[in-house]
A = this chain, B = another copy of it.
Amino acid sequence: MIRSSAVAAPCVGGIEAGGAKFVCAVGTGPHDIRAETCFPTTSPDETVGRAVDFFRAHGVTAVGIASFGPLDLDASSPTAGFITDTPKPGWSRVDIAGAFRRALAVRVVLDTDVNGAALAESRWGAGVARDPLVYFTIGTGIGGGAIVGGRRLHGLIHPEMGHMRIPRDPADAFAGACPFHGDCLEGLAAGPAIRARRGLPGEALAVDDPVWALEARYLALGLVNVVTVLSPRRIVVGGGVMRQPSLLGRVREQVQAILAGYVRAPAVVDTIEEFIVPPALGERAGVLGALALAQERE
């Protein structure tokens, strides 16, 4: 799919770099997308080449990449801008930021897909004037990004919120699906854990299947840990697993139950439906995050 319109002013490029597909856009924001394309993620050379051709055809002054990871975002590292060790064949130790910088001779800003989505939500969506903002996605994995003091949260590496440790339900016999940690949050509560417990994906399960109560409990434990560590003003929760219509409400109830009155902020006690929210940008948060990254100063 390629959509194009006349280019009125210099604008930037954004890439939502996923393990399955790349979504590339040229524009300045959600109401000004001048061209967009989408293609499957094959080899690094072929995939980067297609994106480079697309941006060359439209002209961009900078490129933002909201990428699957893990990524090396340490500017002082010899592999800064690389995808590091990923299970995706062929993509480990790929200099994704450098490839675009060399081919297009423009500024390139790389960050995780979830930090990109957090930035897009903070600029144009559910996170406006809500800082710190946390963006969680619950899908085939669990990832989290954050905006703190107007900036994307980085440090030693980038947040890896999916791999925090939470208490297991004593009645839950499932060992956990994370190849590194077994029963970390992602291992207990991402899509593959639901499928492994029931033999069916979440979208095929009834709304009253008992797995959803367990899922809500685990996700709430993860959010409670984020509340206690980061004290966000809003948490945006998206991803395929959250399409189960009653899940977000159950997660909110469990967050209140687990905090047990300790955090008495009105946002938790009275208006939790404004504290834990779905993405305002929906599935556009990824590519819009990439456009937002391209407009960052650093």
Contact = CB atoms under 8 A, between A and B. Distances in A.
Interface of A: 70, 74, 84-85, 131-132, 144, 148-151, 153-168, 180-181, 183, 221, 224-233, 258-265, 267-268, 275
A231 B228 CA distance: 15
Given A165-B258, A167-B165, A261-B180, A154 B231 contact: yes
Contacts of A232: 155-156
Would you call the interface of chain A mostly helix, strand, loop, or mixed?
A: loop
A262 B160 contact: yes
Contacts of A166: 165-167
B268 A156 contact: yes
The 3 A-B residue pairs with the shortest CB-CB distance in the complex, in nearest-first order: A155-B231, A149-B149, A180-B262
A151 B149 CA distance: 8
B180 A155 contact: no
How many copies altogether?
A: 2
Contacts of A84: 264
A263 B165 contact: no
5 contacts: A148-B149, A149-B149, A153-B230, A165-B167, A167-B168
Contact of A233 (B156, B159, B259, B262): B156
A157 B229 contact: no
B224 A263 contact: no
A16 B81 CA distance: 43
Contacts of A262: 160, 163, 180-181
A162 B150 CA distance: 26
Contacts of A85: 264
Contacts of A224: 164-165
A228 to B, nearest CB: 4
A258 B181 CA distance: 7
A161 to B, nearest CB: 5
A85 B84 CA distance: 46
B159 A228 contact: yes
A226 B131 CA distance: 19
A268 B161 CA distance: 17
Nearest to A149: B149
B225 A229 contact: yes
